[in-house]
Structure 1
Amino acid sequence: MNRDTLKQIMIDQKDIYLNNPLITRQYFLEANVNYCFVGIRRTGKSYMMYQQIKQLEADGIPLSQIIYVNFEDERLLEMTAEDLNLILEIGLEISETDIKPYLFLDEIQNINGWEKFVRRIADMKYRINITGSNSKMLSSEIASTLGGRFVIMNIYPYSFSEYLIANNMTKNYLDVISTKDRADVQNQYNKYVTYGAFPELVEIRNKRAFLNSIYQTVYLGDIITRNKITNDFAIRLILKKIAESVTKPLSYNRLTNILKSSGMSIGKQTVINYVSYMTDSYLLFTLQNYAAKLVEKETSPKYYFMDTGLLGLMLLDCKSAQLENLVAIELIRRYGTENVYFFENNVEIDFYIPLDNLAIQVSMQVLDNIDTRERETRAFVKLNNFISNAKCILITNSEEAVIDCDGINIEVIPIWKWLLDN
């Protein structure tokens, strides 16, 4: 890599973070920690870096001490791991001081072999933050290479409160509010769940086209091209079947049989590999059955999309599926994927969080439908035979009440209120 070319790219890229208006994301970041920001493309990982840079500037750190490189820049396509040290050399030259610069390396997974450079810089006590869009960055091999020098932080699309702020709605909507305020927040929620919460989407009118461009980038770039897949029809079919099965466990065996019934000769291991590529790209995430044995936990999870707008691209009538998918996203935002489960053992509970002994059912409406109300509330009663004294919440589209079912107290809460009550 030519040194002068790299230096010019680094200077050009300063305009990106200097001129970007920011909406502060609701993540707690410590001052002296190296972070690895990961997540699906366009979810705001770069903005977390811009946010940190702005904070450093506010703390009196001169911009000459801040090094930012975005490896998505097409001028860096030929860059290799051997060239990475040039970034540090140029940064020290630009800073013109003996004080170590702050490094922000965006989408660094594009450089093969980046891990050793990052570890060396961290060992030299530089403050360094990195982002990546592929969860292979979190594999055991790379985690071992980084050696605990970084805090891994998952970045998600906007929470509902962030979404409201981005739309200039800053009231406390959990207080007593007017009928108009309630209608406004419900209207914003409807857009939020329908089109999803990628930060850039707020300012875009043709939201579906923007969502499709994100999907194509992830689908073609992070899944098909990166993994050298030639059978893209199988990938499309698997994604379609997963979308249709959101809210229900789906095993590898069933997916394999679905493909075979469509005339495709494809083995179970290939299906497993394809699904792992989808989760590696952060397009999907999985939740396991808390009540299942270990093998079933791994092989028959529930699948959810990382954004409800992306799920909407796959299905026509998906309001109920998007509602449950949104609850899943919010739960992993609050608790982490490893702490959120569903419960299925002669009783079906949509979500169970052992840390809080919290059980959650999700339904569009229950109060005016006797059959639905009976099914959803009786599930909590049955759960009590396996797990006693669980806190029971029934999340709906807009209904609110408190129900007693055989001594089990159940809070019925509208989704928008539950999203804000964090």
Structure 2
Amino acid sequence: MLDVLRELILDAQEMPLDTGIPRHLDVRTVPGKATVCIGVRRSGKSTFMLQLMSRLLDDGVPRENILHLNFFDDRLHALRHSDLGVITEAYFSLYPEKKNTETIYCFFDEVQVLPHWEPFVDRLMRTEQSEVYITGSSAQMLSREVATQMRGRALSWEIFPFSFEEFMEFHDVDHSEPLSTRKRLAVQKAFEHFWEAGGFPEVAGLDRRLRTMIHQEYLNTVLFRDLVERHDISHPQAVADLTHRLIDNVASLQTANSLTGYLKSLGHKISRNRITEYLAWLEDAFFIYQVRLFDASLSRSNVNPKKIYCVDHALAASAGSGILVNTGHLLENLIFSALRRITAEIFYYRTGNGKEVDFVAQVPERKRMLIQVCESMVDQGTRSREVAAISEAMTELGLAEGTIVTRNENDQLAVTNGVVNVVPAWRFLLSLSSEAEKTS
């Protein structure tokens, strides 16, 4: 095992780093804590690790000071039955002069396949002069588990699929401000591409047929590895039917009772508590998100229906039945995903008169954002309804500004208590990218 590890360590140090498109993530290390990158499968966690390595090299860290191992490598299978201390033994047998004299940067991909990896990483940080970076599949390494397993010695960072800005950089689209007519048209065209393709890096340059197949593969992997295998679910068809129901109804209100009734109508003998567990497990896998009602009372917020969103709007379109999902709901899902990249404090709002606004988002270091999503406001009845809802919410929340996100429309509307900005989705996404930079 020692010889195999030495060879793999040296191979990794000689291998060129395929870093891809730089991600807009401000990941910061904290002394004494492992840096853990978590997120939905295929969101680019391992590639981001390579980007972190590249930054270290640019800062003058010698390549020999980087220890990189991917534990899915079949040559490391025997390591699952060994004392993991052999890893550091192999490294320092190559570079004995570095022990306790230089910082060693340890990058461990898919570390969760190793039994008892947690005490090994904990011991490594306590006894060696090191920084530790970890990725793991969401099947066996979820945020709440990292916190438990590492006993406070880890800091987790979420990795999402490409943002719109990252998607444009992948396709070499110049979106720098100020936007000329030519650049604006290129950005708008890129948005239409992003609308079809979504943010998963692997599908960004593929045609629709391949993209759909890969999206469906992602869904099946999440279902059967992150849920069925992981939690030993005895009725896998029930969780599959539930997930498809959620995907077909993104941006819609759901309750555990209504979902239980739906599954029972399909012949599944399943309890409400089991449905609640399935929903929690889908959230743990970073695949489905539940958004609560904005309410000062946590109990009232929890008992009200929750809105359901998928991690990626295009995946929802690919994996859905095509019957119930509509483009307005997909646009709302897209806006949710963009908001979720910069804050977890996202709610929906219901006014005193029962009007609903899609999002109240608390962005760090700024006031709340009040956002309504409406595919088109050309119809006067739709326009009046959407403006009335957001205006009423602005009054109740004491906000002088609200935003209505559309596919293509742009306007500014004066209301009695402030201003409602009507913006096209592409412009709103770019403004969120700027917001993220301010708060990072």
Same fold at TM > 0.5: yes
Question: What's the offset of the Cα at 1:379?
Answer: 0.6
2:368 is aligned to 357
State how far apart, in whole Å, the 1-side matches of 2:382 and 2:333 are.
19
Inter-CA distance 171–13: structure 2 relative to 1 (3 Å threshold): same
Question: What's the offset of the Cα at 1:14?
Answer: 4.8
Superposed counterparts of 1:298-317, under 5 Å? 298=302, 300-315=305-320, 316=322, 317=325
State how far apart, in whole Å, the 2-side matches of 1:281 and 1:62 are.
36
Aligned-residue CA RMSD in angstroms? 2.4
Residue 97 of structure 1 aligns to a residue in which SS? Answer: helix
**Is 1:208 the counterpart of 2:212 in the alignment?**
yes
Gaps of 5+ in 1: none
State how far apart, in whole Å, the 1-side matches of 2:411 and 2:240 are.
41
**Is 1:113 the counterpart of 2:116 in the alignment?**
yes
Deviations 1:207-250 (A, max 9, x none): 22222232232222222222222322111211121123221221
Instruction: Please give the TM-score of this superposition, normalised by the length of structure 1.
Output: 0.90
Inter-CA distance 23–141: structure 2 relative to 1 (3 Å threshold): closer
State how far apart, in whole Å, the 1-side matches of 2:254 and 2:402 are.
25
Q: Percent identity?
A: 26
Name the stretch that deviates more: 212-221 or 319-328: 212-221
Question: What's the offset of the Cα at 1:340?
Answer: 1.4
Q: Which among 324, 346, 349 is matched to residue 340 of structure 1?
A: 346
Residue 413 of structure 1 aligns to a residue in which SS? Answer: strand
Question: What's the offset of the Cα at 1:138?
Answer: 5.0
Amino acid at match of 2:197: Y
State how far apart, in whole Å, the 2-side matches of 1:140 and 1:281 are.
11
**Is 1:237 the counterpart of 2:202 in the alignment?**
no
Inter-CA distance 60–142: structure 2 relative to 1 (3 Å threshold): closer
Contact kept? 2:72, 2:110, Cα under 8 Å? yes
Deviations 1:311-362 (A, max 9, x none): 1123325322221111111111112x2x111112522110002452221000
Residue 212 of structure 2 aligns to a residue in which SS? Answer: helix
Question: What's the offset of the Cα at 1:139?
Answer: 5.6
Residue 83 of structure 1 aligns to a residue in which SS? Answer: coil
Inter-CA distance 141–416: structure 2 relative to 1 (3 Å threshold): closer
Superposed counterparts of 1:260-339, under 5 Å? 260-291=264-295, 293-298=297-302, 300-315=305-320, 316=322, 317-335=325-343, 337=344, 339=345
Residue 127 of structure 1 aligns to a residue in which SS? Answer: strand
1:3 is aligned to 2
Superposed counterparts of 1:31-50, under 5 Å? 34-50=34-50
Name the stretch that deviates more: 81-90 or 162-171: 81-90
State how far apart, in whole Å, the 1-side matches of 2:205 and 2:55 are.
24
Question: What's the offset of the Cα at 1:413?
Answer: 0.5
Superposed counterparts of 1:65-104, under 5 Å? 65-77=65-77, 79-80=79-80, 82-98=82-98, 99-104=102-107
State how far apart, in whole Å, the 2-side matches of 1:357 and 1:19 are.
40
State how far apart, in whole Å, the 2-side matches of 1:296 and 1:184 are.
46
Inter-CA distance 133–318: structure 2 relative to 1 (3 Å threshold): farther
Inter-CA distance 265–168: structure 2 relative to 1 (3 Å threshold): same
Amino acid at match of 1:24: P
Contact kept? 2:138, 2:226, Cα under 8 Å? yes
2:437 is aligned to none
State how far apart, in whole Å, the 1-side matches of 2:75 and 2:139 are.
25
Aligned length: 415
State how far apart, in whole Å, the 2-side matches of 1:32 and 1:393 are.
37
2:408 is aligned to 398
Question: What's the offset of the Cα at 1:390?
Answer: 4.8
Inter-CA distance 344–171: structure 2 relative to 1 (3 Å threshold): closer
State how far apart, in whole Å, the 2-side matches of 1:344 and 1:162 are.
33
Name the stretch that deviates more: 24-33 or 263-272: 24-33
Q: Which among 380, 384, 408 is matched to residue 390 of structure 2?
A: 380
Contact kept? 1:38, 1:134, Cα under 8 Å? yes
Deviations 1:87-127 (A, max 9, x none): 22222223342234210111222334322222222223420
Contact kept? 2:400, 2:417, Cα under 8 Å? no
Contact kept? 1:25, 1:162, Cα under 8 Å? yes
Gaps of 5+ in 2: 435-440
Residue 396 of structure 2 aligns to a residue in which SS? Answer: coil
Name the stretch that deviates more: 68-77 or 54-63: 68-77
